[in-house]
Structure 1
Amino acid sequence: ELEGGRFGYGRFTPDWLQCCNNAKGFLVGYSFFVIVQGMLVNGFVNVSITTLEKRFGLQSSETGIISVGYDIAFCILTMFVTYFGNRSHRPRIIAIGAFILGLGALMFFLPHFTTGLYSYEDGFETLCTGKEGSDGCTSSSSYLSNYVYVFIFAQIIHGIGCTPLYTLGLAVIEDSVPKESASLYLGIGNAASIFGPVLGYGVGGIVLGIWVDFDKVASDEITLTPVDPRWVGAWWLGIMISMACAFLLVIPFAGFPRQFKGTAKYRRMKTAEVDKDTGGEVAKNENFGNSYKDFPKALLMLAKNKTYVLVTLADCSEAILLSGFTTFLPKIIENEFQQTAGLAAIMAGVISIPGGIIGHVVAGLIIKCFKLRTASILKFNIVCCLCVCALSPSLLLYCRNRDVAGITKPYGNDTTMEGLVATCNEDCVCQEEFYIPVCGLNNVNYFSACAAGCKEVVPNGTLTYYNNCSCINVEPVDGWQAYPGNCKTNDCNSLGPFLAVFCFCVMFTFMSSTPALVVTFRILPEKIRTFGLGVQWLFIRALGTIPGPIMFGNVIDLTCILWQKRLCDDSKGSCWIYNAKDLAINALIISIAVKITSSVLFGLACFFYKPTSETEPGDDVTKEEEMVDNITATVNEAFESDLSDTELEKCKTFSENGELYTVL
């Protein structure tokens, strides 16, 4: 096997670059790549879900499909990339993937430059005048919902670019370090993947506070503020930043060698915990995997490995929950705790930082320090899943919905709610397409000043107030009865406890991710290890991360109590108000159901697991096997190096653990 190539580009391989030519250097590059990938796909895209719904008139079920476009491409390519890519120059394939990821980001933010300015009122009459204003079809005659296909295609390009990263990249790391250190390296790599979404949420929250068309419209022409439900932030700005970072990542990965020094030795040392049936079948054929004809045989071997199949199904179950909350957690916080989209995104990032990083790193350290074998790791995952079940009731910490006349609270003294039209405003002819809330002095929100029956505007400097409102039975203060925006509520203090407890849910969820990956690498023989990881990712995407956001999106849509009513085609647009209680209960049911399913699958995997070597570390047989592997690798390295005949002669006899060995 080709060992220890130099880091560089063609003939440019200076010594000062060789500090990167090892597993640690590759781990740094891998970490930066997963940060950029997470920042783009799991950060900026997800944090912009609510904004994209408003800007392009989409529903949650449609934005859920945008999220899974990435996974669709991953499913299509992963088996072929891992089977054939494992024998190719893996770092260079990853470099090509980084370039493709940049192209996908370019396509994703292009709709901002191919559409007109964002219009949020369309000439509607805001007061109760009894006259019908514009129907909104003149200035926005064609809705932008068809751009959903552009976003889906861009996400597919993202998936193509990242397929080598989470398959070949992880395999390079696992191949390049000793078995006892692999869990820590993989844990650090997975922990780095948390920074990406966190950066996406944090920076995304900042850019969403900037007007979407700031590059086309002067700031003094913008009359809305970020707290206004019609506000749309600069969702495209973060995507543009990710594009630049992805193109820069091509440089380091193009310089890594095919494999690092010591890779062959480490591969030989990782055979004791391979599943007995699969390992024996591969061992019978030394050339297995060198031909495309072995492709179906490899699939059949994986299907026969019960532990592998059950761990894969458990990962699929976990992926449903992770992808769903990753996509919609900012939206859940926004609607359950009445926060702006930008602030909700930042809060989602805040609880993901400590929970995700601590979960990955601590799990890797536990496996390394306690030298957990495969069966013990599977039991550890069961405990983590049960801990999440115990903490899941924190999802019931929510704030009740604001009082919105006709939606969550009847108009006046009426005992029934029949929509936005009531006796007090039936002659107003109000638009029902754009949510332009006002707060009355009775501390009740109204869909618009028109819905509140207001017939008079009261100017007050830069602010605008409303008076003579037939639906507000309160004496005016300083000549006004209502002001723009939602009423400020201070009767809910659930956000702090929710964030604190949910952070631990995140931690225990991620504590089972790295161990599950370690199990997959340990139970498969080296020749099909990367391929097995690719097939596993295929099922995780197909059965987990693809249906997860779609399922969450549909469940969230079921809790909507006020839909946008498009006037041009009389169809539903995005949702303005969700029922916070129903949203919390649905999220709780999904969480507990998924975690119980994962626990059962990890338990069955542990039951069916049978290692190649039945002896535990410390038994003489296992010690001797590991010792022989070390001796073989040491001698091979000596003979492959440029040693003199005298030095080679010295390598033929040496001692190991007090015993003298002779190399024949």
Structure 2
Amino acid sequence: MFLVALSFAYFSKTLSGSYMKSTITQLERRFDIPSYLIGVIDGSFEIGNLLVIAFVSYFGAKLHRPKIIAVGCLLMSLGTFIIALPHFISGRYEVETSVRSSNSTNNLTICLASSPSCENESKLSMWIYVLLGNILRGVGETPIQPLGISYIDDHALEDNAAFYIGIKSSPFLLFGYLLGSLCAKIYVDIGFVNMESIRISPGDARWVGAWWLGYLIAGLITLVSAVPFWFLPKSLPVPEGQLAKCSPERTSFIKESPVMDHKYHADEQASFLRLAKDFMPTLRSLLGNPVYILYLCVTVIQFNSLIGMVTYKPKYIEQHYGQSASKANFLMGVINIPAVALGMFSGGVLMKKLKLSIMGAAKFALGTSLLGYFLSMFFFALGCENAKVAGITVPYGRMGSLSLKNSTLFDECNKHCMCSETEWDPVCGEDGLTYVSPCLAGCRMSDGPGMKTVFQQCSCVAVGNLTASVGQCIHRESCQQVFPYFLALSVITSFIISLGGTPGYMLLIRCIRPQLKSLALGFHTLTTRTLAGIPAPIYFGAIIDTACLKWSHKKCGGKGACRIYNTTAYRYPSLHFDFWNQENDLESTLRINSLAVDSKP
């Protein structure tokens, strides 16, 4: 029954956690913030953990573990509701556009730039609520893993413990991304706007889905998950003779007890003052374990790459392969995450079937990690060319070269218009080029509502009827050919790397004394989140920001969210820093693209 309750708690926490990852681009666009700031918001969950995890892991092991987990679930639920709060207290989402309403025949003003007023822009940054809610969610999640896993290991047969630990989270990792895919299809202000008047599609860089809806659903489920833990006992009776003994191999490095029982039952009463007094000696004893410290160092390095990948992989699929946020989340949910879940579950099954010792588990985890990272190197070969955007990645008419000193968004073909170069309202010309706005495409007239709008007399479109349609051009055949191979390699590497997850956990909890299991798990989580969970999303986001070619601009000034990236710099991190120093200089962009093309086999 505890395993069922813990599995449901894991379901609720992974639902909200993976849903947070799936809303990265939605939050960027809704609050008009760059990727590094999204990294700060994502890392705030770890900050919440850090505030209490050491004390929860130590004191919780001596107290009523199920009830502490229940309190954690309640806090998680409250934090998830707070994340959704900005949608209900802020105004409607205003789509960035260069086309203004007018009383003319075509009802649109294209050639006259008009800066939007900043009077109605909120002085309070709404993303602060998301940050605070995520911190509280991190505080509430703290007891679930260390207390839940230690409770299982203390009351399960030794051969079954790894199998149970593999079960508790394996099936639930995909639901957050599937929920994210569903909500991303729904417009953020659905029910309050006329959808026929909306001139953007889910694949547009300005589209914002109903990100708030998933947090309400996740919050309700988390609230329900707290109920069962109030009725579970502090400790379970275990029949005599079923408590397994640790082998000398497992405990030979622990001086205090060469052979001991690895089960721990928290039935004895102890005062809070005594527990506090014993905390520092207990922590010193734990940190004196060389196997534990070595495992800690390895996982910090590994988690830095894994957290950065999981956080921004949907965004990478969107920007690099031209997929919508909904499709990127759906693919993560039905392809990538099940591979991770199957790998974790299979690792627990293999450890049970093969009866792996501690040394065997260590070798297994090391081997799968090395193989997975080696295969990941092939991602560098699965790249796409940049989207063809006039004045940003290619010159107007595909003739000549881009100017280094002056803005290249202006050309002879659009000089008759007073265009704004800060707005992003892309249109696709008949010539196959994307233009930053109808104005910069030289368009004079428009016809049709919403997504059916056709812009006419576009002087920069040098072919056909001089027309342009709403949205970016999607003709990137090479990307569509490469994309299935990217997905296949992603599944294989995710499965292989995650195979070592459960054996690694068993190595962690079996290499220390039973009284230290909860503290060891808690300190492991504390360290990995301090050195990986918090910084990885931030510096990954900062590096991604350096590859931005066109930023949005807030009403009252200042840089907002990125609209289009240099996909070559996005794929080759070593080129980011040169790109950063050039401050998105377009000549530097062409030089990077040329370097990448020349270096291909």
Task: Return the TM-score normalized by structure 2.
Answer: 0.87
Distance 1:174 1:235 in 2: 38
What residue number does 1:168 align with?
Answer: 147
Distance 1:266 1:482 in 2: 75
What residue number does 1:436 align with?
Answer: 425
Structure 2 gap ranges (5+): 102-107, 577-601
Distance 2:563 2:449 in 1: 28
Tell whether 2:21 aligns with 1:46.
yes
With over 3 angstroms needed to count, the CA separation of the structure-2 counterparts of 1:312 and 1:452, relative to structure 1, is same
With over 3 angstroms needed to count, the CA separation of the structure-2 counterparts of 1:282 and 1:301, relative to structure 1, is farther
108-117 or 384-393, larger mean C-alpha shift? 384-393
With over 3 angstroms needed to count, the CA separation of the structure-2 counterparts of 1:419 and 1:34, relative to structure 1, is farther
Distance 1:267 1:298 in 2: 24
Partner SS, residue 418 of structure 2: coil
Contact 2:69 2:143 in 1 (8 A): yes
With over 3 angstroms needed to count, the CA separation of the structure-2 counterparts of 1:160 and 1:460, relative to structure 1, is closer
Distance 2:280 2:360 in 1: 32
Alpha-carbon shift at residue 259 of structure 1 (Å): 1.7
With over 3 angstroms needed to count, the CA separation of the structure-2 counterparts of 1:225 and 1:291, relative to structure 1, is closer
Tell whether 2:398 aligns with 1:409.
no
Distance 1:321 1:464 in 2: 44
Partner of residue 449 from structure 1, selected from 425, 428, 438 = 438
Matching of residues 108-507 of structure 1 within 5 Å: 108-121=83-96, 124-125=99-100, 131-133=112-114, 135-138=115-118, 140-142=120-122, 146-192=125-171, 195-196=172-173, 198-262=174-238, 269-270=245-246, 272-278=248-254, 280=256, 291-396=275-380, 397-412=382-397, 413-417=399-403, 418-459=407-448, 463-476=452-465, 480-492=466-478, 493-507=481-495
Contact 1:388 1:509 in 2 (8 A): yes
Contact 1:125 1:431 in 2 (8 A): no
Alpha-carbon shift at residue 220 of structure 1 (Å): 4.5
What residue number does 1:554 align with?
Answer: 542
465-474 or 261-270, larger mean C-alpha shift? 261-270
With over 3 angstroms needed to count, the CA separation of the structure-2 counterparts of 1:378 and 1:461, relative to structure 1, is closer
Q: Which amino acid aligns with 1:163?
A: T
Contact 1:207 1:235 in 2 (8 A): yes
Alpha-carbon shift at residue 568 of structure 1 (Å): 2.1
Alpha-carbon shift at residue 266 of structure 1 (Å): 5.8
Give CA-to-partner distance per residue, 1:369-390, whole Å, 9 cap, x none: 1111111211112211221122
Alpha-carbon shift at residue 66 of structure 1 (Å): 0.7
With over 3 angstroms needed to count, the CA separation of the structure-2 counterparts of 1:380 and 1:460, relative to structure 1, is closer
Contact 1:184 1:364 in 2 (8 A): yes
Give CA-to-partner distance per residue, 1:91-148, whole Å, 9 cap, x none: 1111111111110011000000000111114775498865331x2124643466x222
Partner SS, residue 560 of structure 2: strand
Tell whether 2:94 aligns with 1:107.
no
Q: Which amino acid aligns with 1:47?
A: S
Alpha-carbon shift at residue 318 of structure 1 (Å): 1.9
Partner SS, residue 577 of structure 1: strand
Indicate the structure (1 or 2) with the bigger Cα radius of gyration. Answer: 1
Q: Share of identical aligned residues, percent?
A: 32
Q: Which amino acid aligns with 1:314?
A: V
How many matched pairs? 554
Give CA-to-partner distance per residue, 1:337-389, whole Å, 9 cap, x none: 00111111111222223311221112112211111111121111221122112
Contact 1:395 1:585 in 2 (8 A): no
With over 3 angstroms needed to count, the CA separation of the structure-2 counterparts of 1:292 and 1:416, relative to structure 1, is same
Alpha-carbon shift at residue 217 of structure 1 (Å): 2.9
Q: Which amino acid aligns with 1:255?
A: F
Distance 2:391 2:373 in 1: 37
Structure 1 gap ranges (5+): 1-24, 590-664
Alpha-carbon shift at residue 395 of structure 1 (Å): 2.0
Contact 1:125 1:430 in 2 (8 A): no
Distance 1:467 1:222 in 2: 19
Alpha-carbon RMSD: 2.6
Distance 1:191 1:279 in 2: 36
Give CA-to-partner distance per residue, 1:242-278, whole Å, 9 cap, x none: 1110111121111111122218866663464544343
Distance 1:207 1:460 in 2: 25
Matching of residues 564-603 of structure 1 within 5 Å: 564-566=552-554, 568-569=556-557, 571-586=558-573
Distance 2:239 2:90 in 1: 52
Distance 2:556 2:275 in 1: 59
Distance 1:484 1:70 in 2: 38
Task: Return the TM-score normalized by structure 1.
Answer: 0.79
With over 3 angstroms needed to count, the CA separation of the structure-2 counterparts of 1:244 and 1:273, relative to structure 1, is farther
What residue number does 2:594 align with?
Answer: none
Partner SS, residue 454 of structure 1: coil
389-398 or 357-366, larger mean C-alpha shift? 389-398
